Amino acid sequence: MIKITNIKQSYLQGKSVVKVLNGINLNISKGEKICFIGPSGSGKTTLLNILGLLENPISGSVLINSKNCNLMSLEQKTMFRRQYIGYIFQNNQLLEDFSVIENVAIPLILNNFPKRFSLNKAKEILKTLGLIDKVNFKPGTLSGGEQQRVAIARAVIKKPFILLADEPTGSLDEENTKKVMQIIFSIINKLGTALVLATHNLDLIKKFDRCYKVDDGLITEYEE
Ligand SMILES: Nc1ncnc2c1ncn2[C@@H]1O[C@H](COP(=O)(O)OP(=O)(O)O)[C@@H](O)[C@H]1O
Ligand SMILES: [Mg+2]
């Protein structure tokens, strides 16, 4: 269970303070699927980064499984993230110096699993995502849809408690969008992982338990 309370965030831009989040409250239960919709600049990435412990809010609290994440040291946050949180970044952020299979295995290796075991697991998951022929390629040589499937594999290989996805289909055509969303949902349904996904594609929202519009620093439940 994830509980965020009265989250506020602002940034200094030049000499002025830009308020981005203005008191966000949200509870997410195990396995629940939540989506944030909102135009560019509305604060979706900021919110995901705060949920993912990549960024500290100026005020408010983030509780994950009753752990108050605000009180953790930087190192504790890193360890917590490695264990419990999967993140599909906007523009996927795959590492070009590593092959596809290495990219996917890295989260397990960072969690101290043996290298051979981690690579085998990576191979397994890449096979289920239809990428077995691409395991030794560099990410940059793959199509957009394929790269996004690699990013999904990397984010879910450690069976995270929560999966954060920042516009994971933003650069994909309709067919690949469908494919990628189907893959994300089938994986998280199997694992019981909670999903928090940011998008501005209104076609996607039917699949979620709850959708929120991010606007003016606040979230409001979105009704069709
Ligand atoms: N590190 C930062 N420093 C200054 N301004 C930032 C920073 N991160 C985000 N912002 C600003 O916060 C606002 C929200 O950004 P973001 O969360 O990326 O929105 P979205 O993901 O909805 O497009 C934007 O105006 C952006 O310029
Ligand atoms: Mg964004």
Decide if pLDDT at 224 tops 80.
no
Separation CA 6–CA 210 (nearest Å): 19
pLDDT interval class at 170 (50, 70, 90): confident
* Predicted local distance difference test score (pLDDT) of residue 220: 96
**160: nearest Cα among 194, 119, 183, 129:** 194
Cβ(16) – ligand 1 distance below 6 Å: no
Q: How far is the CA of 133 from the centre of ligand 2 (A)?
A: 32
* Predicted local distance difference test score (pLDDT) of residue 18: 94
Q: Quote the mean pLDDT of the chain.
A: 94
Cβ(23) – ligand 1 distance below 6 Å: no
Residue closest via CA to ligand 1's atom 18 equals 45
Contact 90, 46 (CB under 8 A): no
End-to-end Cα spacing for the chain = 27
pTM, two decimal places? 0.95
* Predicted local distance difference test score (pLDDT) of residue 200: 85
Decide if pLDDT at 176 tops 90.
no
Placement of tokens 């509980």 in the chain? 3
DSSP string, 142-211: S-HHHHHHHHHHHHHTT--SEEEEESTTTT--HHHHHHHHHHHHHHHHHHT-EEEEEES-GGGGGGSSEE
**Domains located in the chain, CATH noted:** 31-58+72-221 (3.40.50.300)
pLDDT digits (tens, 9 = 90+) for 15-40: 999 999 999 999 999 999 999 999 89
Mutate to test the pocket of ligand 1, among 8, 20, 47, 90 (most ligand atoms within 8 A of CB): 20
